[in-house]
Amino acid sequence: MSPTIRDRPSRSLLESVRALLLAVGLGACGEAVRPPSPPVAPTGPVARDEIVGMFDAIEMIFISGADTTDVLATGGSLSLQLEDSAQAGGRLFAPGQGPAGSDIDEDMDGIWTYNVIGRVVTFTQQSSTFVGGAVFRPARTPDGFGLELTASVAGDQFLGNAAVEVTLLRADPAPVGASIR
């Protein structure tokens, strides 16, 4: 027995199924959409251009004899802006840590240098603070994306017999050519 008209699918139904199969087949031929790759943290030694930017203290401890003061907990701060041009700016504020318990409030204007071989950052400043005598070591944060500058300074002309331990975290890399003024 041959199929009757009723037994055959309608032409429009066949065309719809064919169009659907064609669309699915063409879609499978294109490239798969992939989610963006997560950023890769830099590795190896810290480069000079990675140091350019704004740094804020996340730890600043003054040690004098048996006395230890968490300067940030007392309202102190240290910020350093390091420009690509080697200019430095910022501010050091340490309440009660100056001579006779006075506040230290100094501009950090000056010049910064990165010794690539020794991997250290140093400062030449107009003001006389421990920052000018410190040797800061740059290191990436554990996640690999942040950058810290860490220094320990003991017994310099500014501190006398005291010591300072300070860690700064890069808050925001400065664009090349940005000005601190």
> Contact 139/147 with Cβ under 8 angstroms?
yes
109: closest CA among 92, 90, 84? Answer: 90
The number of helix segments (H) and strand segments (E) in the chain equals 3, 10
Which of the residue ranges 30-34, 77-81, 146-150, 151-155 has the most confident prediction, judged by mean pLDDT? 77-81
Which region among 48-52, 72-76, 114-118, 172-176 has the lowest average model confidence (pLDDT)? Answer: 172-176
Report the alpha-carbon distance of residue 60 to residue 100 in Å, rounded.
20
| Whether the predicted pLDDT of 1 surpasses 60 | no
The pairing of strands 163-172 and 110-115 is: unpaired
Q: Looking at per-residue confidence, does 9 or 126 come out higher?
A: 126
Q: Is the pLDDT of residue 32 over 70?
A: no
* Percent of the chain topping pLDDT 70: 65
Return contacts of 18-21, CB within 8 angstroms, 24+ apart: none
The percent of residues in the chain predicted with pLDDT above 90, rounded, is 34
- pTM beyond 0.95: the answer is no
Measure the N-to-C terminal CA separation of the chain; round to a whole number of Å: 95
- Taken in order of first residue, the domains within the chain and their CATH numbers are 48-172 (2.40.128)
- In this structure, which long-range contacts are made by residues 19-28, counting pairs with CB atoms below 8 Å and at least 24 apart in sequence? none
pLDDT digits (tens, 9 = 90+) for 52-90: 999 999 999 988 888 899 999 999 999 999 999 999 999
Report the Cα 158 to chain-centroid distance in Å: 29
Decide if pLDDT at 178 tops 70: no
> How big is the CA angle at 23 (ends 34 and 37), to the nearest 5 degrees?
5
Q: Could you tell me how many residues make up the chain?
A: 181
24, with CB counted inside 10 A (0-12, 13-18, 19+), is: exposed
